Structure 1
Amino acid sequence: MSRSSVAPGHRILWLLGPALVAGVAYLDPGNVASNMTAGAEYGYLLVWVVVAGNTMAWLIQYLSAKLGVVTGKSLPELLGERIGNRFARRAYWLQAELVAMATDLAEIIGGAVALNLLFNLPLIWGGIITGTVSMAVLAVQTRHGPRTFERLIIGLLAIIAIGFSAGVFIAPPEPGGVLGGLVPRFDGANSVLLAASILGATIMPHAIYAHSALARDRWVGRDPSLTTRRLLTATRWDVSIAMVIAGSVNLCILLLAAASLQGMAGTDSLEGAYVALEQSMGAVVATLFAVGLLASGLASTSVGAYAGAEIMHGLLHVRIPILLRRLVTLIPALVILGSGFEPTQALVLSQVVLSFGIPFALIPLVWVTTQAGVLGEYRNRWLTTVAGLTASVLLVALNVTLLALVFTGS
C-alpha cells in the first residue's frame, strides 16, 4: 500500500508503522547485553532504570515523529538549516556519526554472537553474514519503499519479542523483587555505569534522528484527506504500542537474568548467559534467546544504517548510497570481532557512548519542537516542554555522575 493510496476511511491501525520500526532500536543487542548484565549482577536493582527510560522514550519518540509529520523534514535536516557555522555543523555531525557507528558496532557484534551460538560460526564470519543480510534488508527499503520495509522490520520485531520474553513465562520473577526494583537507587560506580548503558540503549540518539525521517518518508505526498491532526493521533498510538512492546521486552530480559542467572558464573557475557539459560531452563529457551538476538542484530543494524544516512544528508547535504555506507560502517565492527576483544564488553561500552550522545539529539529536539515558526499550532505545550527539559537534565546529570564515579574510582 503506497503513501498516496491510503483511503480516508481506513482505521488508525493502517496508519501505524514508523514508530514500530524506530522501536527496533530499543531492542538491539546492546539492550540485551546491558539488561542481561544488570540483572545477572544486581538482580532487580535497576528495574527502575528500564521503566524510567521507557517512559522518557515515549515522549522523545513522539516529539521526533511529530516533527516529521508536521514539517515533512527530519531533525537532521532542520538542524542543518539552523546551524549556520560550517565548523559547528561539521562538529555536530561528527558526534552524531560517532554515535551512529557505536550503534552499528553493537548490532553487528550481536548478530555475530548469535550466529556463533546457533551455528558455531567464527565471530568474524558471523559479522560478515550479519552485515550482508542487513544490506539485503536495506535494499528492500530502497527498492520497495517504506511500507514494505516496515513490514519486514515488524516481522523481525515479533521474533525478537518471542525470543527474549519466553523465559520469563517459564521462570517468573519474584513480585517483591520487581516492586523493590522500582525504587531509584544505585550500588557503587559499576551500577551507575550499567544504568548509563541501559539508558543509552533505551533512549538511542539515532532513533531520535531516524524517527522524524521515517515519519517524513511515510507521509510525504500523502492523500490530502489524511489531515495532520489525524496523523498525529495515529502517531500517538504508534509510539505507545512500540514503547509498550520495547519496554516490556527489555524488562523481561532484565527480569529473566535476575530470576534465573543471578549468581551464576560467566553470565556477564552473552555467550555465558546462553550457556546458563541452557543449563537452567533447557535448550529451547536458550535457542529462542539466540534466535531473538540474531533478529535483533539484523533489524536494528538496518535501522541504524538508515539513521546514519539521514544524519549525513541532513547536516552535511551529502548523500551516499546507503548500501555503500553500510559497507563502510561494517569495518569497525569486523576489526573488533577479529581482534579478539570480548564482544559483550564491547556491546556494553558502546551503549555508554550512546548515552553521551543523547543530550546532543534530545535538547535540539525539544528546542525545535517549541518553535511556532517550525510547528505552528502543533508546537509543544508548556507542560510537554517542561517534561522534555526534565528528561534532558536527568540524563545529563546521570552522565556527569558516571564520569565522576569512573574517574575518581569511588
Structure 2
Amino acid sequence: MFDTIYVGTSGLLTHAKGLRVVGDNLANVNTPGFKSAQLQFSDLFEQGSGLYSQKQENHGATGTGVTSLGSRINFSAGLDQTTGNALDLSIQGNGFYVIKRGDALLYTRSGDFRFDADGILVNSAGDHVLGMDASGKLADISLAGYERSAPVATTTVKFSGNLTAPTATATTTDAGTATATVIDAGGASHTLNLAFKSSATGSYTVTVTDGTTAVGSGTIKFAAGAPVAGSDSITVNYAPADTTPFDVKLDFSGNVTSLASSTLLTAAQDGYVPGTRKDQSIEADGTVKIFYSNGKDAKGQRLVLANFGSEDDLEQVGGSAFRLRGEDGVFYGYAGDGSFGSLLAGHREGSNVDLASEFSNLILMQRGYQASSHVISTANDMIQQLFDMKGNR
C-alpha cells in the first residue's frame, strides 16, 4: 500500500509540473517570439526477478509511477503581427536573430527592434542585435558614421525643351536662354546662365556665365531638329570663389529639339547638397537603409541570421531567447541566402501558443492531478482499515 502512495505522489508532482508548463504557455500568449512547450511524461518501472511462489510465475516489471523527461519546445512559426514600425521584422522561413545579452550569445525569433540612444540596434529587452563586420565576425549594428550625407559636386546637367530653329537668312540668331543650378564640392548651390545663338548651319554657340563672370562656352549642333551625336554637349570648368574648380558637362543629347517655336529650357543635375540622417529602415535582406534630409539614402550594416543542425540543441533562457547547448551546430548567414528566410519589415512574429490546445491540456493536467490524489486517498483508506483491524483484535 505504501508503494501505491508513492505512485500517486509521483502523479501529483508530475502533473503539477505539467500544469506549470501549460500555465506558462497561456501567460505568454501575447509575448512576441514566444515558443510554447509541452511536458514529456514517462512511466517508471521497477524490474522484478526470480520466481513467484510454486506456480513458477514470472514476476516481471512493475509500474512505480510517472516522471517527466523535461519539456519539449514547439519551434513552429508564431502568428504574424503588423506593427507599422519600419524596424520591426518577421522572419519568413528559417532562421533566428543573433543577439548579445551581456557576454552571452543568444538566439530569438522576436523581431521588435529599435536603435538606442547610442545608435545601436537593440530589441525591446535591450539586447544588442548582431550583424557581421568586414572581417566576418559578429558585431553590433550601429549608425555610427551614417549621421550625415556628404555633398557631391555636380558633374552633369541634362537639359530638355526647345531651342529656336535658325533662319536661312540670318547669320546668327538669339535662340533662347536657360539657367542651371550646380552644386560645388562644399555643398553650396550656384546658378549658371546659358545664352544660345544659332547660325544657318544648325550650330548653336552656348555661352555660360555666373552673373557677369564668364564661365565658358562651346558649340552644339542639330540636324532635322534633333541633336547631332558627338556634338550634343559641352564641358566647362567652373571655379566658384573659395572652392576647388570642377568640370560640369552640359548635356543636350536627351529631350532637346530645335523647332520654330521657342520654349525655355529646363535642367536636372546630379549633384546634391549635404544632408542629415532623417530616418532608417531594414530591407528584406537585413540591410539597414538610412534616409537623409537631402533626399539621398545609404546602405548600412546587415543583420545576420543563425540556423542549427537541430533545434533540440536550444534551451529557453527568458525574454523569448534561446541558448545553444555546447558551441557546435550553429550556422550563420544572411536573410534570403541559402536556407535562410527573408525578412518582412513592419511585422513581427507573435507567440505560437494555441489556446484551444492549451485549454485542453489544462483539463488533462487537472484530471491527472485529481486522479493521482484519489489514488493516494484510496491507499490511505485501505491502510487505515488495516490499522483498524489490528486494533480490533
Same fold, TM exceeding 0.5?
no
| TM-score between the two structures when normalised by the length of structure 1 | 0.19
Looking at CA atoms only, which structure, 1 or 2, has the larger radius of gyration?
A: 2
Structure with more of its chain in helix, by fraction: 1
Structure with more of its chain in strand, by fraction: 2
| TM-score between the two structures when normalised by the length of structure 2 | 0.20
Quick one: higher RCO (CA 8 Å, sep 6+), 1 or 2?
Answer: 1
